[in-house]
């Protein structure tokens, strides 16, 4: 037993490595996992005391367990069999495809990442870029929402800042689970977004198997009481107007609704900005007819460098106001009881109308509307016209700027002139060539509030997500 054994160096190294892996897997890793699990439990217990809606057990389930539960769901299993038969492939191949979809969709929520990092980052970013204004919010009505109901925030989509802004403003309500598009699947965004509880969706996918996996995840989350946030327009607005609703995600929720199990309450949320960070990119995409927002990397780096330089030199000015309004909540059980034939479409259009009704009016869209309609105009005449419109908005109880026209207009004009969207010649304000499409984009966001005859919301026959 005490004899000396001679081994090659490579064999000795392998033995040491195997011993190290065995030690780590049996002693070190469990201890590390236990440490982080106990820390996460303390964070969740502390956070739940402050939230109006505590974090749901469904959201705290391990990602691996959730994936297993999803792919072995009876409806998903049947979809796997149907896919195998339809495409003439073995069922195990179809099963692996479903597993791939489930891994792609299911998030890995981290309460520490969401509340310790995400909320603080969202608060800092929102306040550092914008002056935040809360438009319409019926606090009494929101407080009356059934605490056991599944709440779904339905939001118009103007900017990628929407995620950040709503996360910050709804931080006291609970942890939101967003449906995010394929743009967020790139590294390093994807692991961060998964940790924040968001789930990925392929908006252009037509596969029945993928649709079934996605629908079952959304339905499980809803039945589990997860607070969700969806953008029914299916993408960022390219012209500033509210787009027709895409009813895919709403339909998944509605078709599985059972009032005896859990109420579902949709809360309309409307956002508007003095400056949408992606405005020129979106306008260009609208002209080209494509939704591929891929600006050159050098352009993004240049803009980021300029932004950081302005901050370091103390010359950065916020991009004006970002305003958020909450509309009248919609209880799904009341719609179901009416026996409406096309329930999903009716709910979608009602929600979009409620979003339109409370869409906030901020300074730049309001001034842009008057500059485009009046042609060359003096600053005094513009102030008078804006003041008149603000009175009309007040009479209609529409969220509007809190500053007076005399204070608001000069500030907006200075912002527009800095971007070369207007020119001042002989006391007259003229919209420049590059300013016309941009000001039109902003004016479109509030046209339904101020036009004598507002165009009806478009009706979409599409049932896509």
pLDDT at 453: 35
Mean pLDDT throughout 262-281? Answer: 93
Ranked by mean pLDDT, which of 57-61, 139-143, 449-453 comes out on top? 139-143
Q: At the topology level of CATH, where does 363-444 sit? A: Sec63 N-terminal domain-like fold (1.10.3380)
CB-side exposure of 151: number of CA atoms within 13 Å?
A: 25
285-292: long-range contacts (C-beta < 8 A, 24 or more apart)? 285/238, 286/238, 286/239, 287/437, 291/235, 291/238
Task: State the pTM of this model.
Answer: 0.82
If pLDDT is split at 50, 70 and 90, which confidence band does 465 have? very low
Mean pLDDT throughout 231-247? Answer: 89
Residue 109 token pair: 């929520």
If pLDDT is split at 50, 70 and 90, which confidence band does 464 have? very low
pLDDT at 120: 84
Tell me the average pLDDT of the chain.
82
If pLDDT is split at 50, 70 and 90, which confidence band does 409 have? very high
pLDDT at 195: 66
If pLDDT is split at 50, 70 and 90, which confidence band does 193 have? low
pLDDT at 11: 63
> What DSSP string describes 315-327?
------EEEEEE-
| Beta strand ranges found along 21-121 (DSSP E) | none
Report DSSP state, residue 334.
Answer: H
What would the CATH number be for the domain defined by 103-277+319-357?
Answer: 3.40.1130.10
3-state secondary structure of 118: helix
Q: What angle do CA 390, 392, 395 make, to 5 degrees?
A: 110
pLDDT at 457: 39
Asked whether 106 and 68 are in contact (CB, 8 A), the reply is no
Q: What angle do CA 390, 395, 401 make, to 5 degrees?
A: 30
Alpha carbon distance 350, 63 (integer Å) = 35
CATH 1.10.3380.30 positions along the chain are: 363-444
Q: Beta-carbon neighbour count of residue 352 at 10 Å?
A: 23
Cα radius of gyration rounded to whole Å, the chain? 26
CB-side exposure of 49: number of CA atoms within 13 Å?
A: 5
CATH 3.40.1130.10 positions along the chain are: 103-277+319-357
The yes-or-no verdict on residue 456 having pLDDT over 50 is no
Cis ω for the linkage preceding 196 (within 30 of 0): no
Mean pLDDT throughout 321-340? Answer: 87
Q: Beta-carbon neighbour count of residue 395 at 10 Å?
A: 8
């Amino acid at each position: 037993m005490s004899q000396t054994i001679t081994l090659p160096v490579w064999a000795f190294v392998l033995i040491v490595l195997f011993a190290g892996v065995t030690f780590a897997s049996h002693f070190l890793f469990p201890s590390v996992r236990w440490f982080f699990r106990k820390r996460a439990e303390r964070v969740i217990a502390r956070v739940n005391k402050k939230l109006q809606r505590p974090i749901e057990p469904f959201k705290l389930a391990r990602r691996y367990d959730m994936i297993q539960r999803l792919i072995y769901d009876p409806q998903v299993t049947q979809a796997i069999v149907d896919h195998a038969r339809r495409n003439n492939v073995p069922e195990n191949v179809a099963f692996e495809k479903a597993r791939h979809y489930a891994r792609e969709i299911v998030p890995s929520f981290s309460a520490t990442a969401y509340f310790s990092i995400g909320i603080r980052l969202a608060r800092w970013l929102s306040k550092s870029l914008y002056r935040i204004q809360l438009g319409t919010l019926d606090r009494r009505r929101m407080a009356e929402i059934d605490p056991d109901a599944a709440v779904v925030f339905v939001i118009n989509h103007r900017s990628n800042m929407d995620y950040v802004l709503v996360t910050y403003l709804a931080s006291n309500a609970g942890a939101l689970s967003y449906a995010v598009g394929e743009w967020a699947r790139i590294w390093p965004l994807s692991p961060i977004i998964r940790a924040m509880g968001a789930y990925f969706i392929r908006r252009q996918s037509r596969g029945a198997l993928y649709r079934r996996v996605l629908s079952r995840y959304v339905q499980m989350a809803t039945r589990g009481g997860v607070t969700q946030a969806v953008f029914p327009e299916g993408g960022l607005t390219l012209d500033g107007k509210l787009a027709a609703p895409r009813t895919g995600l709403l339909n998944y929720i509605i078709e599985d609704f059972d009032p005896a199990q859990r109420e579902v309450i949709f809360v309309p949320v409307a956002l508007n900005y003095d400056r949408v960070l992606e405005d020129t990119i979106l306008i260009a995409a609208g002209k080209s007819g494509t939704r591929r927002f891929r600006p050159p990397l050098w352009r993004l780096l240049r803009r980021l460098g300029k932004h950081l330089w302005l901050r370091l030199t103390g010359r950065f000015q916020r991009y004006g106001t970002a305003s958020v309004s909450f509309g009248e909540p919609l209880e799904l059980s009341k719609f179901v009881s009416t026996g409406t034939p096309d329930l999903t479409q009716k709910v979608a259009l009602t929600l979009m109308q409620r979003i339109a009704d409370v869409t906030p009016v901020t300074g730049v869209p309001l001034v842009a509307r008057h500059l485009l309609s009046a042609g060359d105009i003096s600053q005094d005449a513009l102030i008078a016209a804006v003041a008149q419109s603000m009175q009309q908005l007040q009479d209609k109880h529409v969220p509007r700027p809190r500053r007076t026209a005399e204070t608001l207009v000069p500030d907006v004009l200075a912002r527009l002139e800095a971007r070369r969207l207007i020119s001042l010649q002989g006391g007259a304000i003229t919209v420049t060539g590059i300013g016309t499409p941009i000001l039109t984009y902003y004016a479109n966001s509030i046209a339904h509030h101020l036009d004598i005859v507002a165009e009806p919301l478009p009706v979409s026959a599409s049932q896509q997500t």
